[in-house]
Amino acid sequence: MKYFGILLITTTFFLGSCNKNHPDVVSTPIATVQDVSSLHNKTNRSVGDQTTLICQGSCDCGLTGNGTYVECRCNECVMIVKNVRNGVESTFNLIDAQFDVEFIPELNDWVNEKFPTHTYFISEVVLTDLSDGITYLYVVKLNDGSEESVMFARSAGKTFRIDCTGSCGCRERYVFDPPAAECSCGDCVMEVQELQF
């Protein structure tokens, strides 16, 4: 009986510590790209979907943009895709995945204009599909450790860059009906710029 108790404690310790760098992987199974193909393909997304992308792992995880997609920036990361469809949330963990996005060149332009001496990586992308438009909220982490955000919104055939700045943790929001941009709190200054393509 004494040896069984030692074996049980050892097994419990081993199982509890084997995934300490990937805590979400324990509760959510690793998925393949085929499992999230309807999320991965922009044409298959449904009206009202909201998809959030982050990377987690043992390195300084984050997303890097490469033209038309994002991927985790180091091998020790797992891409976590949270999708809300009709009020139901599903979560997928992807290894070595690329997720199609838009506005990466415009994001680079924004960072270069606003923070010309900084390098950055993307810490979160929130994509929202609505009946007459689409939004991408990009949260970036600068090399000084600060986080900033910017939103790109397409509505009624026009594309806008929305940037809220302030001391209250400002985030950008876009309301589609009626079309309007807003900031998440009162101590924000909002800049809206129409982008020409």
pLDDT value of position 41: 52
pLDDT value of position 38: 54
β-strands 50-57, 69-72 pairing: unpaired
Provide the residue ranges of all domains of the chain, joining segments of one domain with +.
21-195
N-term to C-term CA, the chain:
73
- Cα separation, 172 vs 150, whole angstroms: 7
- CB atoms closer than 10 angstroms to residue 15: 10
pTM of structure = 0.78
User: What are the phi and psi torsion angles at 169 (to 5°)?
Assistant: 75, 45
CA atoms within 13 A on the CB side of 159: 8
**Strand ranges (DSSP E) for 23-105?**
50-57, 63-66, 69-72, 77-85, 88-94, 98-100
Alpha helix ranges (H) inside the chain: 2-17, 23-27, 37-40, 104-114
pLDDT value of position 59: 87
pLDDT value of position 176: 62
DSSP code at position 30: B
pLDDT value of position 16: 32
- Cα separation, 135 vs 154, whole angstroms: 6
Dihedral (Cα; 119, 125, 129, 134), 10-degree rounding: -10
Positions of the chain with pLDDT lower than 70, given as ranges: 1-48, 176-177, 179
The secondary element (H helix, E strand) that includes residue 106 is: helix 104-114
Tell me, what amino acid is at 151?
M
Tell me, what amino acid is at 152?
F
pLDDT digits over 112-133, tens only? 999 998 899 999 999 988 777 8
pLDDT digits over 65-99, tens only? 988 999 999 988 999 999 888 778 899 999 888 99
- CB atoms closer than 10 angstroms to residue 177: 10
β-strands 69-72, 63-66 pairing: antiparallel
